[in-house]
Amino acid sequence: MTKQYLVDQIIAKQSYLCVGLDTDIEKLPAGIPKTKQGVIAFNKAIIDATAPYCVSYKVNTAFYESQGIAGWEAMEETLAHIPSTHFTIADAKRGDIGNTSSQYAKTFFEVLPFDAITVAPYMGKDSIDPFLAYQNKWTIVLGLTSNPGSQNFEQQKLANGQFLFESVLEQVSSWASAEQLMFVVGATKAADLAAIRKIIPEHFLLVPGVGAQGGSLEDVTKYGKNNDIGLLVNASRAVIFASSGNDFAEAAAIAAKGYANDMKILLENK
Amino acid sequence: MTKQYLVDQIIAKQSYLCVGLDTDIEKLPAGIPKTKQGVIAFNKAIIDATAPYCVSYKVNTAFYESQGIAGWEAMEETLAHIPSTHFTIADAKRGDIGNTSSQYAKTFFEVLPFDAITVAPYMGKDSIDPFLAYQNKWTIVLGLTSNPGSQNFEQQKLANGQFLFESVLEQVSSWASAEQLMFVVGATKAADLAAIRKIIPEHFLLVPGVGAQGGSLEDVTKYGKNNDIGLLVNASRAVIFASSGNDFAEAAAIAAKGYANDMKILLENK
């Protein structure tokens, strides 16, 4: 998917919502079997219910891998059910030396034809380049995450005065354009978004942590938006597990619509 | 596997060789079909041929994931074929927020019952803790890798005077004992090993980069060995693709035996 197409979708819908399919088989609603078919049926119902209100789906690969082969099959069927209008992200956080990252790129760009994959930056440029070699695909590199552990390394101060995550944003953004590269920036650090936008004014930000993790959509939009809007705000559990009853799909639609309505108001206010 | 058992195996064999099953389906020898069954047959032959000379096998998950479900099945059958005397590593380089890392831990400690998994440290403590929660399993955290990109972030100087990788070694080693935690330290940086051993004297080091990537086994042993020997030196392509002919298993055995002989001499010299 091109950046222009994604931006057009966002503008048409006035939504920059990404729904995270972190489908924990143990949390499936009553009445949905805790099987591969149950996961697939649940995801399809969630997708059908929420597609009008979001522009993207993020599949958290861990929740599928932990079911082994059945999980891999569920991931395939889930991806195949997502409308081509929606930007698809494999939230896989891969990254290894070049010949290995090439295999991961093949996995999530070809075998499973996602539009994008999340990638960890620790091992540096040659661990990220194989993903960037796909011109028609997107690489989403971890910048600043929203978990407490971000203080251990991401927020360590470097000798040059930058935080580590700032060095990641600065260096990695010099390796590829905003046409194929995005960054993960956690929403619980909305106050940092203004500083982040000075480093990477053009790149899209994938913002987890709104909803169950407690970030503020208003702050994220205020400090993170750029001329292309430039935001994908993810909500996972707050949407897909909005209800644990038979009305789970309806509840997910209501939750997604709620985010979309808030986004529309925030976009109109500017 | 306990640390004592692993150390006993190393001492009994006078080998600290780990064979890396980076089984690139495109590089299978002539005569081996480029299919799931081909990968399994190749791996089984390699394992049978090299088991006397090594104490560990490292399965690079990327090369299996890139074959989709068939690759996952090949990984399962390969793992099942490794003798229980050998320490098994899923080289998966995972790491995410806590509830997601828990799923990855389940994947590689339960669904696929490896002894160990490699983990990326960027997201900090709560991304690593779910792996450490398995008392009878091992977490192998990336410290200093052997690729050129290690200069981008791992070798950046922090404000406190440490390199980032030194801060990783120091912080992470305070989170778990040498009974369940190891570190990846690249062999092309053997000169750094003495400094690394001052930070983490007790933990095992998994050392890739000997062989195809060009590190020196002598330097690694000289600077990296501790009282438990404390080293697993990995060779992948240099062993498994030692020959592209019908004699691939025999050639792999010769290559593995060569490493083991060198290791024996280096251990005796001390």
In terms of residue numbers, what domain contains B161? 3-268
pLDDT above 80 (res B188): no
pLDDT, residue B209, reads 74
C-alpha span between A62 and B105 (Å, rounded): 9
pLDDT above 60 (res B213): no
pLDDT above 70 (res B265): yes
- Is the Cβ pair A153, B122 closer than 8 Å? yes
φ, ψ (nearest 5 deg) of residue A107: -60, -50
String of DSSP letters for B156-225: PBBTTS-BHHHHHHHHHHTTS-TTTEEEEE-GGGHHHHHHHHHH-SSSEEEE--BSTT-B-HHHHHHHH-
Residue A179 exposed, middle or buried by CB count within 10 Å (0-12, 13-18, 19+) = middle
**pLDDT tens column, B24-59:** 999 999 999 999 999 999 999 999 999 999 999 999
The stretch B147-169 carries a mean pLDDT of: 97
- Is the Cβ pair A148, B158 closer than 8 Å? no
By C-alpha distance, the chain B residue nearest A168 is B153
Catalytic residues of B: 93
- Is the Cβ pair A156, B150 closer than 8 Å? no
Nearest to B106 among A66, A122, A125 (CB): A66
**pLDDT tens column, B101-123:** 999 999 999 999 999 999 999 99
Nearest CA-CA distance, residue B2 and chain A, Å: 24
What is the pLDDT of chain B when averaged over all its residues? Answer: 95
C-alpha span between B29 and B60 (Å, rounded): 19
pLDDT above 90 (res B210): no
On whether any CB of chain A is under 8 Å from the CB of B152, the answer is: yes
- Is the Cβ pair A158, B157 closer than 8 Å? yes
pLDDT grade for B191, boundaries at 50, 70 and 90: confident
pLDDT, residue A269, reads 82
A168 contacts in chain B (CB < 8 Å): 153
Look at B58 and B211; give whichever has higher pLDDT.
B58
Residue A51 has a CB neighbour count (10 Å cut-off) of 18
On whether any CB of chain B is under 8 Å from the CB of A62, the answer is: yes
pLDDT, residue A250, reads 98
**pLDDT tens column, A114-160:** 999 999 999 999 999 999 999 889 999 999 998 999 999 999 999 99
Residuewise pLDDT in 10s, chain A (270 residues): 999 999 999 999 999 999 999 999 999 999 999 999 999 999 999 999 999 999 999 999 999 999 999 999 999 999 999 999 999 999 999 999 999 999 999 999 999 999 999 999 999 999 999 999 998 899 999 999 989 999 999 999 999 999 999 999 999 999 999 999 999 998 776 778 989 999 999 999 999 977 655 568 998 999 999 999 999 999 999 999 999 999 999 999 999 999 999 999 999 986
On whether any CB of chain B is under 8 Å from the CB of A158, the answer is: yes
Structural domains counted in chain B: 1
pLDDT, residue B214, reads 58
By C-alpha distance, the chain B residue nearest A24 is B103
B127 contacts in chain A (CB < 8 Å): 147, 149
pLDDT, residue A213, reads 56
A68 contacts in chain B (CB < 8 Å): 72, 76, 107, 111-112
pLDDT, residue A270, reads 61
The stretch B148-163 carries a mean pLDDT of: 97
CATH code, domain carrying A167: 3.20.20.70
pLDDT above 70 (res B222): yes
pLDDT grade for B86, boundaries at 50, 70 and 90: very high
On whether any CB of chain A is under 8 Å from the CB of B250, the answer is: no
pLDDT, residue A210, reads 79
Q: Which two tokens stand for residue B212?
A: 């195809």
Q: How many CB pairs under 8 A join A and B?
A: 186
| pTM exceeds 0.95 | yes
Nearest to A122 among B69, B112, B121 (CB): B121
pLDDT, residue A209, reads 75
